[in-house]
Amino acid sequence: MEYHYYNRRDDLFDMQELRTHVNWNELKNKARQQYAHLTNEDLEYSSGRQEEWFKRLSTKLGRSVDDVKDWFRHL
């Protein structure tokens, strides 16, 4: 029997994958708890624009793209 180990941290961020494993609304609410100035628009993700989305969030938060990705991994 073959086992497949799914490591969410290694597979971040295929947003479709994230949405299937995590309640996206719950994740957005956690993000807003830490950064109250984030708007719905800031947290709207468009398919195929992942890196642009991370860059936009990193600018808004004053953090690097890698920091933003890591932050989402730990929400």
**For the chain, domain boundaries:** 15-73
pLDDT of residue 26: 84
Q: Residue 47's pLDDT is what? A: 73
pLDDT, residue 17, reads: 53
- Report, as ranges of residue numbers, the positions in the chain whose pLDDT lies below 70: 1-22
| Cα 70 from Cα 75, distance rounded (Å) | 9
CB-based burial, 36-53: b 16+ in 10 Å, e otherwise = eebeeebbebeeeeeeeb
**pTM (predicted TM-score):** 0.66
